[in-house]
Amino acid sequence: MTPIAQNLQEVRAAISAACQRAGRDPGRVRLVAVSKTVDLERIRAAIDAGQDLFGENYLQEARAKIAALGRQVNWHLVGHLQSNKARGAVELFDLIHAVDRLKLAQALSAAAAPQGKVQDVLIQVNQGGEATKSGVMPAAAPALLQEVARLPHLRVLGLMTMPPWFSDPEAARPYFLALRELRDRLRGLTGLPLTELSMGMSGDFAVAVEEGATLVRVGAAIFGQRR
C-alpha cells in the first residue's frame, strides 16, 4: 500500500469513528482531499486508492490538474476567490466553498448563466471574527444568504468555516457548533435545506464531524506537510 493510500485509510477510519461517537451516518460525510501544491503523481495515487473528490485553492493550478486528470473525479474550490476569476471557477468546479460577499456571488451567477449552469456554492462564515480571515461575519450572514439565494444561477447548499488556528482540536469545537447552529437558524429563516456544512481540516476534522460536518477538507493528513 502506498503512503497516501495508508493515510486515506486512516482518515476515513477516523471519520467513521467520529460518526460512531456522534450517532451519525458515515455516508453523510464526504472527504475533500485538498490537493493544493500536490503533484499529479500523488493525486493519481489517491485516485487509485479510491478517492474521488479533490479540493483546490488556485485556479491556474486546478485548471492544469483537471486538464490532466479529467472529470473521473469531482473538483471543489475550497479557497478564497476573486470576483474577476468567477468565470474560470464556474467552468472548473462542482462546488465553490468560499462565497463571502454579494459581489462575488453576482459574478458567479453571471458567469454561470451563459454556461447554462446552476453553480453550487457554500457561504463562508468568519465564525472567529478574525480580521485576517475571509468569510462573512455571522451577524451579516442572514442578509447575505437572502440576497445570494435570489440569484438565478446559484444554488446555496450550506455553510463553510475556518476557525482560528489552535494546537488543541477541542478548542475549535465551539466554532463548529456555532456554524451548525447558524445553519439551523438560517434554515428556519429562509426555508432552504442548507444540507452541507464544510468544516474541519487535518488537525480537527474528527471534532468537526462530531459537530455535524458533511464535507471535511483534509490536505496534510493525506498528502503530507506542504513545503
Binding flag, residue 202, ligand PLP (CB under 6 A):
yes
How far apart are alpha carbons 182 and 189 in whole angstroms?
A: 10
| Least Å from the CB of residue 189 to ligand PLP | 26
| Least Å from the CB of residue 204 to ligand PLP | 9
Residue environment code for 17-52, b if the CB has 16+ CB neighbours within 10 A, otherwise e: ebbeeeebeeeebbbbbbbbebeeebbebbbebebe
How far apart are alpha carbons 24 and 71 in whole angstroms?
A: 30
Binding flag, residue 219, ligand PLP (CB under 6 A):
yes
3-state secondary structure of 117: coil
Report DSSP state, residue 113.
Answer: T
Q: Which of 17, 30, 47, 57 binds ligand PLP (CB under 6 A)?
A: 57
Binding flag, residue 166, ligand PLP (CB under 6 A):
no
How far apart are alpha carbons 57 and 102 in whole angstroms?
A: 20
Binding flag, residue 78, ligand PLP (CB under 6 A):
yes
Binding flag, residue 218, ligand PLP (CB under 6 A):
yes
Alpha-carbon distances, residue 53 vs 10, 72, 127 (angstroms): 17, 9, 25
Binding mask 124-163 for ligand PLP (x = CB under 6 A): --------------------------------------x-
Residue 117's Cβ-count burial label (10 Å; 0-12, 13-18, 19+) is middle
Binding mask 79-118 for ligand PLP (x = CB under 6 A): x---------------------------------------
Query: Residue of minimal CB distance from ligand PLP?
Result: 219
Site of interaction with ligand PLP (CB under 6 A): 34, 36, 57, 78-79, 162, 201-202, 217-221
